[in-house]
Amino acid sequence: MRKILAAVPVALALALAGCGSGDDGGTGVASAGGAASTTAGSAPTMGNGDMGLKYAQCMRENGVPMEDPVDGRITLKLDGSVPRETVDKAQEACRQYNPQENGAAKSDPKMEQAARDFAVCMRENGVEAFPDPEPGQKGIRIDGSLSQDPDFEQASQKCQEVLAGARG
C-alpha cells in the first residue's frame, strides 16, 4: 500500500510539494497534484487558489476523485480504486493547472531548505525512514508506505509549521 502526503499549502506547493503515487499504482496520498484538461500548454493566468481548484476539478473530470483544496491545501488520496493508468492520464491532462508544474522554473533555495528541515523534523518525530529531498527537487516526495508508520500523522501535523515558516 502506498501513500504520498498532499497537505502542503498551495502557495508552498508551487515549490515544495511533489505529486504522484509512485510507479506501482498502489494507494497514495500526494502533496499537491498536477493538472490540465486534454492538452498540456502554458499555465493559465490565475492565482494559486484558483489554480488548485481548477486542478482538482480537472482531475475529477478525468476520472480521479479529488477534493477541492481546503485552507489552501491540496490533497490527492489514492486508495488503489483508480487504475494507475487513469491517474497518469489525468495528471497529464491536467498539467496546465498543476501548481507544481507551473511554479517557479528554477529551484528556490529557501523552499529546498524548508523541505530538508521538514524531513529532519519528520525523523525527529518518529518517522525514521523519511528521506531527504534530492537537490533541486520541487516538492516533497515520499513512498506511500511511510504513511503506515504509526507516528506519521502526528509528525506530519507537527512539522507543517516548518513548511509554513518557509512562506515567509
Q: What is the DSSP secondary-structure string of the chain?
A: -------SBHHHHTTS------SS---EEEES--B-SSS--SPPS--HHHHHHHHHHHHHHTT---PPPBTTB-EEEE-SSS-HHHHHHHHHHTTBT-TTTTS-SS--HHHHHHHHHHHHHHHHTT-TTPPPPPTT--S----GGGGGSTTHHHHHHHHHHHHHHHT-
Give residue-wise pLDDT tens across range 83-136. 888 988 998 899 888 876 665 445 678 888 998 999 999 999 999 999 998 887
**Which of 38, 67, 93 lies at the terminal end of a domain, its last residue?**
93
Q: What is the number of domains present in the chain?
A: 2
In a domain, 54, yes or no: yes
Residues 81 and 128 in one domain: no
Is there a domain that residue 3 lies in?
no
Residue 109: per-residue pLDDT: 83
Instruction: Tell me the residue range of the domain where 157 lies.
Output: 109-166
Residue 99 in domain:
no
